[in-house]
Amino acid sequence: MNIVLKHIGDQVLVITGATSGIGLATARAAARAGAKVVLAGRSENALRQIEQELHAAGSQVECVVADVGREGEVRKVAEVARWRFGGFDTWVNNAGVSIYGRSLDVPVEDQRRLFETNFWGVVQGSRVALEHLRERGGALINVGSVVSDRAFPLQGAYSASKAAVKAYTDTLRMELEQEGAPVSVTLVQPASIDTPFPQHARNYMDQEPNLPAPVYTPQLVADAILHAAENPVRDLTVGGSAKLISTMEKLSPRLTDHYMERSLFNQQKKESFAQEREDSLYQPSEDLRERGAYEGHVFERSWYSAAARMPVSTAAIAVGAGLAVVALFTSHRRTS
Give per-residue pLDDT as tens, 53-72.
999 999 999 999 999 999 99
Percent of the chain with pLDDT over 70: 92
Looking at residue 102, what is its pLDDT? 98
Strands 207-209 and 269-273: antiparallel
Looking at residue 312, what is its pLDDT? 56
Do residues 168 and 119 lie in contact, with contact meaning Cβ atoms separated by under 8 Å? yes
Is it the case that residue 136 has pLDDT exceeding 80? yes
Among residues 100, 158, 204, 259, the one annotated as catalytic is: 158
Q: In 3D, which of 241, 125, 118 has the Cα closest to residue 185?
A: 125
Do residues 73 and 44 lie in contact, with contact meaning Cβ atoms separated by under 8 Å? no
pLDDT band at 197 (very low <50, low <70, confident <90, very high): very high
259: annotated active-site residue: no
pLDDT band at 331 (very low <50, low <70, confident <90, very high): very low
The C-alpha atoms of residue 169 and residue 175 are separated, in whole angstroms, by 10
The C-alpha atoms of residue 156 and residue 152 are separated, in whole angstroms, by 7
Give 76-80's long-range contacts (Cβ < 8 A, gap of 24+): 77/14, 77/16, 77/38, 77/40, 77/128, 78/14, 78/128, 78/129, 78/131, 78/132, 80/38
Mean pLDDT of 294-298: 95
Q: What is the pLDDT of residues 214-261, one digit of tens each?
A: 999 999 999 999 999 999 999 999 999 999 999 999 999 999 999 999
Mean pLDDT of 36-45: 98
Specify the CATH number of the domain 8-335: 3.40.50.720
Looking at residue 330, what is its pLDDT? 44
Is it the case that residue 157 has pLDDT exceeding 50? yes
Looking at residue 99, what is its pLDDT? 98
Q: Can you spell out the DSSP letters for 156-172?
A: HHHHHHHHHHHHHHHHH
Looking at residue 311, what is its pLDDT? 66
Higher-pLDDT residue of 212, 319 = 212
Please, what is the average pLDDT of the chain? 93
Higher-pLDDT residue of 286, 44 = 44
Looking at residue 336, what is its pLDDT? 43
Residue 62: DSSP 8-state: E
Looking at residue 332, what is its pLDDT? 44
